[in-house]
Amino acid sequence: MVLHSAAEMMRVNPTPPALLLHRLPGRRTVSAGVWLLHGAAHDPAPRAGATHLVEHLTLRRCGGRDRTELARLVDRLGGSVDAWTGAEAMGLSIETTSDALPEALDLLLDATLDPTFDADDVALEKRVALAEMELVRSDPEDRVEEALLTAAWGDHPLARPIIGSEQTVRRLTPTALRRHHAALLRPGGVLAAVVGDVDPAAVSRRLGRLPLAAPIEPLPLPPLRWMGGAVNLEWTAGDQVYARLAFPTEGFAAPGREITAVLNRTLGVGASSRLFQRLREDAGLTYDIFSSLVLRRQGGFLEVGWTSSADVFSESWRLVRDELAAFPDGLTDEDVEVAVEATVRGLLMDAEEPSSRCGLEAAEVLELGRPFDLERVIGEIRTVSPPAVREAARTVLRPERTASAVCGPQGVTEQVA
């Protein structure tokens, strides 16, 4: 494995390598991660939840360590050791101090390559996963987020719960999980990134056990179709209403992605965003309201979410829809300028912090197929103009294409029918 700086990679290698390194001289902290390009959406339907369960098992026992040894090592590293599952990838990450990097990388490798699938461990983690499902069922915010995916994308694998279902998880066996884990380590399906004041050659040697020789190659999924549906759920444990709206966008690699990002920020990210000012600061109808982008390789959506009491929900629903309709024409040049500056400064701060920089390095390769170059990305953001954002708002925020999900007391859904 040959390591290059970002600038060198752009010159000599149009396909970025699967081992990314960014040096931050003088830093005492270091961050490392491994991304496996198989997410929950890639699980075969009868084994939905298999990737999530493998993720649970990676840090239960690995590399010949028992649970106590592993727990002591994690604590001794002093930072954070984590594993996660997303719709299109699974990953493991470690943050620690530079002097502990050899131990941290060995743990990262063992968790990635050598987790155990002991029958007792599998049975225990299945119980944990089933308990997690119960938590989701009892949390109205989790329920409404899952419902919004269904309203937007129907029964597409990208709309499926990452954790799977009770039926599919109960059917998973140690043998099936062991085979599933082996499939996750396919050539072209593994990416590693390390950020900090580290020795490139030493990092390369340490990570030599990972299959990093092949170019990154994401797995395919069925075509994504926008459903624009509405899902209404009854919630009897309180008088709060949890509401979500979604509008279709293109995927994370689409041209103009920086315009969509600025649009999202002006709409519902931060204290000066339009929806926060109107619903929270002016009308006092909700404690918080937000917008966010849910982006996948094939497509995505811009989400608007808020919570209000049942007695003012119909008013909040009307006001949100009115603000969305008026937003494109009401968006000012200053709104866009503030959002651009906030985005740039947030990016600069993230690039200075090892764990955030590690994620930036990996995301640029996984999503855009290119090395991360801070100045290039900042330049792209700074090209975003107010007319471009207003046009994007008109294109995205079309009421006839809205998907919605509402979770609240009985009778509330009738207010938004």
pLDDT at 415 over 90: no
- Average pLDDT, whole number, for the chain? 93
Mean pLDDT of 8-23: 63
Indicate if 256 and 314 belong to the same structural domain.
yes
Indicate if 192 and 252 belong to the same structural domain.
no
Indicate if 323 and 404 belong to the same structural domain.
yes
Indicate if 202 and 304 belong to the same structural domain.
no
pTM: 0.92
Q: Is 221 among the domain residues?
A: no
pLDDT at 417 over 80: no
Q: Where are the beta strands (DSSP E) in 143-216?
A: 190-196
Contact 355, 95 (CB under 8 A): yes
If phi over 0 gives left and psi between -120 and 50 gives alpha, with beta otherwise, what is residue 85?
beta
Quote the domain boundaries for residue 330. Answer: 230-416
Indicate if 135 and 31 belong to the same structural domain.
yes
For 2, 279, 303, 416, the CA distances from 207, given in Å and listed in that order, are 12, 50, 39, 54
Is residue 356 classed as helix, strand or coil in its secondary structure? helix
Contact 262, 249 (CB under 8 A): no
If phi over 0 gives left and psi between -120 and 50 gives alpha, with beta otherwise, what is residue 237?
alpha
Q: How far apart are CA 383 and CA 387, in angstroms?
A: 11
pLDDT of 11: 37
How many domains does the chain divide into?
2
Mean pLDDT of 183-205: 95
Indicate if 235 and 193 belong to the same structural domain.
no
Model pLDDT for residues 94-113, shown as the tens digit of each residue: 999 999 999 999 999 999 99
Q: Is 390 among the domain residues?
A: yes
Q: How far apart are CA 372 and CA 6, in angstroms?
A: 6
Q: Where are the beta strands (DSSP E) in 197-320?
A: 230-234, 240-249, 289-295, 300-309
In percent, the amount of the chain with pLDDT more than 70 equals 96
pLDDT of 82: 95
pLDDT at 45 over 70: yes
pLDDT of 6: 37
Indicate if 327 and 407 belong to the same structural domain.
yes
Q: Is 267 among the domain residues?
A: yes
Contact 260, 396 (CB under 8 A): yes
Indicate if 244 and 306 belong to the same structural domain.
yes
Indicate if 138 and 262 belong to the same structural domain.
no
